[in-house]
Every structure is written in C-alpha cells, then in structure tokens.
Amino acid sequence: MQALEIIHQLIIAGEDLTHVIMKTDSSYLALGLSEHVWKWTLNGFRNWKGQPLLNGRAFKYLHEKIVLLEKEYGIHVSFCQVGREFNQKADGLARAALLW
C-alpha cells in the first residue's frame, strides 16, 4: 500500500513513469493482484465459498489504486514474485513503514 502511495506522490510531483514492477515474496499477493483480482471485483471480494475474502478490503484498495495509476496516468503496474531470500531488504523497509 505504501509503495503505491509513494508512486502516486512521485507522479504528482512530476516524475515520468510508464511501468512499475512490484516485487514481493508473497504468491498470495502477486497472484491475487495479477490474476484473481478480476473475479474478486466481480463477486464482491468473496471467496469460492461466498464468504468475505481474507484481506478483501486491502485487495480492493490496492486494486483501486492500481486502476487509478493505469487509467489516470498511463502507468502499467505489474507484480513479480521473488524468493524470500531476495526480498529481505524490502521486508525491512515494509516493517519500518508500518512502525512509522
């Protein structure tokens, strides 16, 4: 969430971005926002059992922010899953952002 907010702020400040790749070690996040979010949007962010999706509000917020970046600013946002061993610095930054 914080990364997308920062990207939005950079665009408002005049940065010329065309493609942003979000790297994560979470397959749930990467697949959720690159594949599953389209059906979740149609079914009200519910799982296959009809129950509210775990972290549904967070996925909805992220999807709305990505759609804004793509439609309003023409920035393509994609997700890439990386191994946990390659994502330690990003994890540290994310934890620090939560404490800030």
Q: Using one digit for the tens of pLDDT, what is the confidence trace for 11-41?
A: 999 999 999 999 888 899 999 999 999 999 9
Close Cβ partners of 69 (under 8 Å, ≥ 6 residues apart): 4, 7, 8, 11, 20, 75, 77
Q: All domains of the chain, ordered by start, with CATH?
A: 19-99 (3.30.420.10)
| Axis-axis angle for helices 2-12, 56-73 (nearest 10) | 20
Secondary structure of residue 24 in the 3-state scheme: strand
pTM of the model: 0.79
